[in-house]
Amino acid sequence: MDLQQRQDSKSAKHNLFYIFGSFCLLLFIIDYISLRVSISGHLRDVTVVHAPRPLMYTFFEPVEGGCCGMSEQAHEDLVKAWENAWQSYGWDTKVLSESDAKRHPDFDSFQEKLIEADVNEYDRRCFWRWLAMANLEDGGWISDYDNFPLTLTADIGIELGKLPGFKSWQLWVPSLLNADRESWNKIVKLMMDTISPDLDVKTISDMQLLLYLHNHLSEQEMGVSVWTNEVLPGFPYIRGGEGKGPKIDCSVAQSYLAAHLSHRDSHEAFEESHTYPRIEGMTESLHAEKRGDAAHIMLRDYREKCVE
């Protein structure tokens, strides 16, 4: 082999070595980048810890064909609007039902007393929610599904929930309650011991019974730590001018934890105070049926005009 051939062979080997080395370097760079991405993702997974969202419960057990001036579908629509509203405030939500109440060991005994006292089907369902909450391991918050948040964010709820005992935020109207398991069961037992056919109340409902207990027992005997009125009955609106719809009153809305859009309050808002949010095609007969839509408008107005 002459000198030229030896030089060509040496050059070819050099080029081959160079190509091989470059290929190895490329693989190393790819592996390094993949490792950095993997480590970075792992660190994000480990170090970014999101605080658990508090739970807001409600109770819904449908009555076939609907009730209380609303179709069954309208009740379901209202529950969905309730879920969306509380979730938008940072809460997780859960809808309890008869099956949850039946897990409480006193369900059958409670039900017998309600039937003996001739409590109607709707009001029996209202009592069931107390049993459902009392059977939860940690107790917690419950709201009527026609009760919508105004200032009660998840963060505020966590802080208020740290207070001990039974807490009612609309006095004897059980639209927004919080308690630990022991306190829930204490109220349930007091209700069971009090219900009777000859009880001196206009109607045996959970609202009337809660008022009866508060009138006849001390708050200490009931285990009550908060008994206040921080839930607005109805809509936080004022009547608009001639030909105009109602306007949200931010000073009122910002003063309450939530707005309870009950049947009665919705009726009064539509017929008397004219503070029901304007909905195209609304008639008096639909004020209860359309509460989910009205709540959506209320929360939109609140965010747009009252929240800085």
Paired strand residues for 57: 94, 142
> Each residue of 162-186: pLDDT tens digit?
999 999 999 999 999 999 999 999 9
- Residue 94: the pLDDT is 98
> Each residue of 75-124: pLDDT tens digit?
999 999 999 999 999 999 999 999 999 999 999 999 999 999 999 999 99
> Each residue of 37-85: pLDDT tens digit?
332 343 233 334 456 899 999 999 987 776 777 888 889 999 999 999 9
What whole-number distance in Å separates Cα of residue 74 and Cα of residue 189? 33
Determine contact, residues 262/201, Cβ cutoff 8 Å: no
Average pLDDT, the chain: 86
Q: Which helix (H) or strand (E) holds 259?
A: strand 258-260
DSSP per-residue codes, 139-172: -EEEE-TTEEESS--HHHHHHHHTS-SEEETBTT
Please state the φ and ψ torsions of residue 198, each to the nearest 5 degrees: -100, 20
Determine contact, residues 261/146, Cβ cutoff 8 Å: yes
- Residue 14: the pLDDT is 45
pLDDT confidence tier of residue 36, bands split at 50, 70 and 90:
very low
What whole-number distance in Å separates Cα of residue 215 and Cα of residue 197? 19
Determine contact, residues 150/256, Cβ cutoff 8 Å: yes
Structure tokens at 74: 């309208």
> Each residue of 212-268: pLDDT tens digit?
999 999 999 999 999 999 999 999 999 988 778 899 999 999 999 999 999 999 999
Q: What are the extents of the domains in the chain?
A: 55-230, 237-305
Question: Percentage of the chain surpassing pLDDT 70?
Answer: 83
Q: Strands across the sheet with 258-260, in order?
A: 147-149, 258-260, 231-233
- Residue 63: the pLDDT is 75
Model pTM greater than 0.85?
no
- Residue 50: the pLDDT is 58
For residue 276, what are the CA distances in angstroms to 2, 59, 268, 300? 104, 25, 9, 14
Determine contact, residues 277/246, Cβ cutoff 8 Å: yes
Determine contact, residues 228/160, Cβ cutoff 8 Å: no
